[in-house]
Amino acid sequence: MNTKVKNIAILGSTGSVGTQALEVISENNLLFKIFLLTANANAELLIEQALRFEPKYVVICEESKYLQVKDALKNKSIKVLAGIEEVINLVTHPDIDIVLTAMVGFAGLRPTIAAVKAGKDIALANKETLVVAGELITTLAKKHNVNILPVDSEHSAIFQCLVGEEKNPIDKIILTASGGPFRGKSIDFLSRVTLQDALKHPNWVMGAKITIDSASLMNKGLEVIEAKWLFDLEADQIDVVVHPQSIIHSMVQFTDGSVKAQMGLPDMKLPIQYAFSYPERLKNNYKRLDFANYPSLTFEKPDMVTFRNLAFAYSALKQGGNMPCIINAANEIAVAGFLNKKVGFLSMSDVIEAAMEQIKFIAAPDLDDYLNTDKETRIFAQNFIDKLPL
C-alpha cells in the first residue's frame, strides 16, 4: 500500500459529489488531505467544510460572498480567494496531487485544462468537460502524462473492467441506465410531469441538474459522448441498456465475445474512493451487495423516440466538431429553465433540437471556438425559452 498522503483539490465541494468526496476523505484521513475547496455560491456550506477540514485554500466563485467567507474563516490559517480565475490559478499549485473536478457544467472546462497542463491527475466528475472538448482534453492529458480517472459510476465501471486488459481490443461497451423516474412513460404522460416528479430519482441521490438530466436521459447521452473520449471508441461501439436495479454499473464486451461487468450497490462514494486510491483498493465499511436481495436483474432498450435527448447525443457524437458543445450548452439552459418552471419537461428537447439546427457548426474547433459556441448557444437557448408560451 502506498502510504504517501495525497493532497486533493475539490472543485465543487458543496455539490453532491463534492460532499461525498469529503466523506471518503474523512474516512481515510491518513491517506488523503484537503488542499483546496471551491464552491460556486453556497458560502454557508463552504465555510462549514473549511472549518472542519482546514484546507490551505478556499475559493468562493460568487465574488459577492467573498467577505462572508473571509470573515467566517479569519481565525484560521486558510487563504480565502474569490472568482473562477483564482480556481484556474490554484489548480496548478505544485503541492496538489489530484484534482476532483465536480463543478457543474461547462464551468469545469477551463480549470480542468489548467490542471492537466500542470500535470495533475484528474478525478473527473464533470462529464461536460469531455463532452464539450474531449479531443482537446485527451490530447493534453497524453502530452502531460496525466491520468483521467472517471468518477461517474458508469465510466468508473468501464475503467475497472479494463484494468489488466490493456492489450485486448474492445468490441463495445454497454453503459447501463436506470431509466430514471419516467421509464416506460408515454409522451402524453411526460407532457404533464412536474418539477417535483422529475426530481425523484429511483436509485441515486444527486444534485438537481444531474437528476433532471437523468430523468430526460440527457445524462446518459452525455455519458455516451464522454465514453468516446475516455476509452477511444466510435459511436457504434457504445451501447446503452436500461437496467432499473442499478446493480450492474456498466459492461465491456471484448472481441472474443466475453463480457465483463462491474457490480455493486448504488453508492457514489465507491467510484470516488477508487479514483482517489487508484491503482489500489481501500477497505471500507460500505454496505455490501447481497444477491439474494436481487433475484432478478432486468434489461431493456432505451426509448429514444420518447426520450429524444439520448438520440440527440448520439447524433452530436457522430457529427463531432462543436456539436456536442452546442447540445451541452442548450441543455444547461433548458434544465435551468425547467428548474425555474419556465419550460416544460418535453420542451427541453425542443430547445436542444433548435440549437443544433441554428448554431453554426464548426468541424475542427479550438478552445476559443468552444467558448464562443457555448456563449452563442446559451443566448439562443434562453431567447428560445423566453418566446415559449407559459
CATH number at residue 115: 3.40.50.720
Residues 292 and 209 in one domain: yes
170 and 258 co-located in one domain: yes
Is 245 within the bounds of a domain? Answer: yes
pLDDT tier at 337, thresholds 50, 70, 90: very high
Mean pLDDT taken over the chain? 95
**What pLDDT score does 226 carry?**
96
Model confidence at 208, pLDDT cuts 50, 70, 90, reads: confident
380 within domain boundaries: yes
Do 212 and 342 fall within a single domain?
Answer: no
Residue 368: count of CB within 10 angstroms of its CB = 8
Instruction: Answer yes or no: are the C-beta atoms of 175 and 240 closer than 8 Å.
Output: yes
Q: How far is CA 32 from CA 6, 78, 80, 104, in A?
A: 5, 18, 21, 23
Residues 329 and 277 sit within 8 Å (Cβ to Cβ): no
Mean pLDDT for 128-138 is 93
| pLDDT exceeds 80 at position 202 | no
> Does 310 share its domain with 176?
yes
Q: Which domain holds residue 213?
A: 156-319
pLDDT digits (tens, 9 = 90+) for 75-109: 999 999 999 999 999 999 999 999 999 998 888 99
On whether both 185 and 313 belong to a single domain, the answer is yes
| pLDDT for 105 | 80
Q: Where does a domain end: 150, 170, 193?
A: 150
Number of domains in the chain: 3
pLDDT > 70 in the chain, percent: 98
Cα torsion angle, 237, 238, 242, 248, sign: positive
Write down which residue in 319, 348, 367 finishes a domain.
319
pLDDT tens digit sequence for 363-382: 999 999 999 999 999 999 99
Q: Do 264 and 226 fall into the same domain?
A: yes
- CATH number where 341 lies: 1.10.1740.10
What residue type is 149 in one-letter code? L
Task: Identify whether residues 284 and 366 lie together within a single domain.
Answer: no
